[in-house]
Amino acid sequence: MLPWALERARALLSVRSLGGFVLYAVLFFVFIFIYKAARWWAAPEDPSIALRNADWLISAERNLGLFVVPTVQEFTQNSGLEPVSTWIYTGIHQPGYIGFFVVLWFVGRSVFPFAWRWFWVANGMAVLFFWLFPLAPPRLVPSLGLDDPTHTTLQLGGSTTWFIESDFRNVYAAMPSLHVGYPLMFATVIFFLLGARRFAWTIWLWPLLVFWSVVASANHYVLDAVGGALVVASSAWLVTIIWPNLERPWARGADRETQSFRPEGRPARLE
């Protein structure tokens, strides 16, 4: 009975069907809840640890000439671009990763299994870093005196009211920045799916704009974005090692299947 049930589940996950799509959607939101819970669990009991880590990181960025958060925030406010950065911060993050997987299900099914694992492995690695290195974002460092638009931006669409007003948050999960990491991951997949299309390079504007928005809103340091990129790169490598038979976006097969960016064929079986 159990082997038959497992085989049926695997079949449902691997065929082009409404049932498979719905099942993945349910799994996605279940995993997101687990990720949020783990992120909350990783929060430090003593906020002073996160502030000490912030002092250390700020010192490191200053030594490297990378501490630009106050400058970027001031420029954004003075140029009247704060509403734009706020919209990007609140309006792209969650819809971005949901929309990515929905589109990939229909137009890049052969690489969906790899992207699915890549996403969740990256999330798992990030939670580990949140726990090992709690970090106060620039907006929560009193000595910096930066504006804190987080409450307003969350209300604009980044989160629901119950989430804002509850304790089910980890405000010290700045390193690594998955706000930057996700778009880097998605842009990589989309870039290779687009193949030789003339304007394929424009997809890289997505992570660049998000990087600007998280710095301008004082939610992340530059090194947080570097950390996000490293998590994305290392998780891609890890998925390649653990599941070597999955088709990767940069493989020739993906290019051949999606040159016209149309849904074709069936997905690879999810083992």
Residues 199-225: tens digit of each pLDDT: 889 999 999 999 999 999 999 999 999
3-state secondary structure of 76: helix
Distance, CA of 105 to CA of 108 (rounded, Å): 6
Terminal CA-to-CA distance of the chain, rounded, Å? 19
Write the pLDDT tens digit of every residue in 120-173: 999 999 999 999 999 999 999 999 999 877 666 565 544 444 444 456 689 999
CA separation (Å) from 268 to 110, 171, 208, 230, 262?
5, 38, 32, 27, 16
CA-closest candidate to residue 106, choices 261, 253, 260, 256? 261
How confident is the model at residue 164, as a pLDDT?
47
* Phi, psi of 146, deg, nearest 5: -90, 155
How confident is the model at residue 267, as a pLDDT?
46
Distance, CA of 230 to CA of 232 (rounded, Å): 5
How confident is the model at residue 157, as a pLDDT?
46
pTM of the entire structure? 0.84
CA separation (Å) from 160 to 3, 94, 104, 146, 167?
41, 12, 26, 24, 13
Parts of the chain with a pLDDT under 70: 1-18, 150-168, 252-271
List all residues 6 or more positions away from 17 whose beta carbon is below 8 Å from its beta carbon.
none
How confident is the model at residue 202, as a pLDDT?
93
How confident is the model at residue 147, as a pLDDT?
85
- The 10 Å Cβ neighbour count of residue 231 is 26
How confident is the model at residue 241, as a pLDDT?
97
